[in-house]
Structure 1
């Protein structure tokens, strides 16, 4: 089993009602970044629990198409549970929701993340593609910069970087040398370090796997996500993914971060937008 599949593994409690399920999971510190577990990993975990709930309930649609998550509090390594409900099951799509909960040091149960997700069958997606979007122009993988060149204070709290192979475009890594471009963009090549090929669940993780775009604005530190909405547009082809991450508006203590993922066939396979808090 891959590290990603282990990190998003869930166990369904028996004898649950057909329209609701409770899953147990363990949040591994190897997916920690900044002040908590990576938000994309948590989104993948919630989507897996909804998908497995659908499979157990009615064998419903297998793939996440649209997933929105609200990050209520910072998750930490340790046991957690997911409470999943069917919102609506229809012929072409099914909708479910999940809440991720953990106990704090005083034994109180806190909600960490709440997700609403729309599932469908991407394997049956129409091949009619009409788009003006174009994949990013990146240097070859071997000419890009590994994450070991990130600021030391970032690496010290970024265990997750050991589980990904990320090669960043040199045009947007000046921040590692104290010379950010100021454009608010980070982009590069991505794959999981253990060679696991991409699928819809790992795309949800990859959408939040790059360093914060605030680095390219000269702002370092934890950039916690408030809300993240992801759209999975197609089943990805095997191989490296190309990811672009950018912002156009930092104001009032928040910024938006827009992400696109392109696969090895030059297909736009995932998009997202998140609202995040500006580092202090």
Structure 2
């Protein structure tokens, strides 16, 4: 797939919208952009990338290895404060936590997200791979559906979709025309609309940026994340990513989503699992 690169890592809308400003040791100011909303709530993957950037600046290691986030209340566009704490530092790994808070109109503080994460240096990892995992069978980019080529409009806010270059496997978008497969699958190509290549922070966004698998189960509406854990396995190569998400169990009003992200070199670069509330 040919892609025109208009922005580079460090100089893109994603970088600007995940920027944090040091206020005091371990404390950062941020501004949650309305451009990354789904319906009216700020996307969980974008929030994870924002917190991931703050932790990367606060910890002695810069690359996320594993990040676990609990979403405590819905975030809204506007000012936010991120407080970080270094829990442990070692030669190859460091662990920290971060909390994102916003202030209500009456001045009270509300915590939105709390993260526990371990960071290291992805560039120092061994090249050895032993795996039974295989890249997902997604049709070529040109044969997949984007917001401009889908048989029906994708549900949700167009704000975040305007910032993404997402093309979905036709086999997983039957819900758009009222014919979900019932398998609980979402697959597609992922990139940023301005052509910025992926990096570890973009992987934190990608695991939660495609339509939820609940759509393929025939459910409609917002599927809010309760908890999301991401394992970053390698720094991704330039080019579009392939994302495959599945759910096997919806019970008690909650479902799990397991995601794999593969880069342009056919490497499994990130994995995630999240627990989400099923749409009512």
Do they superpose with TM above 0.5? yes
TM-score by length of 2: 0.94
CA RMSD, aligned part only? Answer: 1.2
Q: How many residues are aligned here?
A: 269
Q: Distance in 2 between matches of 1:151 and 1:276?
A: 25
User: What residue number does 1:93 align with?
Assistant: 93
Residue 262 of structure 2 aligns with which residue? 262
The aligned residue for residue 57 of structure 1 is none
Whether the 8 Å contact between 2:34 and 2:159 is mirrored in structure 1 is yes
Q: Give the match's secondary structure for 1:165.
A: coil
**Residues 10, 151 of structure 1: CA spacing in aligned structure 2 closer, same or farther, 3 A cutoff?**
farther
Q: Which runs of 4+ in 1 moved over 3 A?
A: 148-153
Aligned-partner Cα distance in 2 for 1:45–1:139: 31
Preserved CA contact (<8 Å) 2:141 2:189: yes
How far 1:137 sits from its partner (Å)? 1.1
**What is the DSSP-based 3-state SS (H/G/I as helix, E as strand, rest coil) of the residue aligned with 1:159?**
helix
- For residue 226 of structure 2, give the secondary structure of its aligned residue in structure 1: strand
Give the CA deviation at 1:66. Answer: 0.1
Deviation at 1:52, TM superposition (A): 0.6
1:43 is aligned to 2:53: no
- TM-score normalised per structure 1: 0.94
Structure 2 unaligned residues grouped into runs of 5+: 1-10
d(CA) in 1 for partners of 2:125, 2:84: 26
Q: Contact (CA 8 Å) 2:154, 2:176: kept in 1 or not?
A: no
Pick the structure with more helix per residue.
Answer: 1
Give the match's secondary structure for 2:261: strand
In structure 2, the CA distance between the partners of 1:89 and 1:163, relative to structure 1 (3 Å rule), is same
Q: Given that residues 37 and 77 in structure 1 are in contact (C-alpha distance below 8 angstroms), is that contact kept between their aligned partners in structure 2?
A: yes
Of residues 27, 44, 51, the one that matches 1:22 is: 27
Q: Are residues 1:110 and 2:110 paired?
A: yes
Distance 1:209 1:150, change over 3 A: farther
1:229 is the counterpart of 2:238: no
- State the Cα deviation string for residues 127-173 of structure 1 (Å, max 9, x = none): 11000000011111001001343865824x24100000000001111
1:207 Cα deviation from its structure 2 partner = 0.6
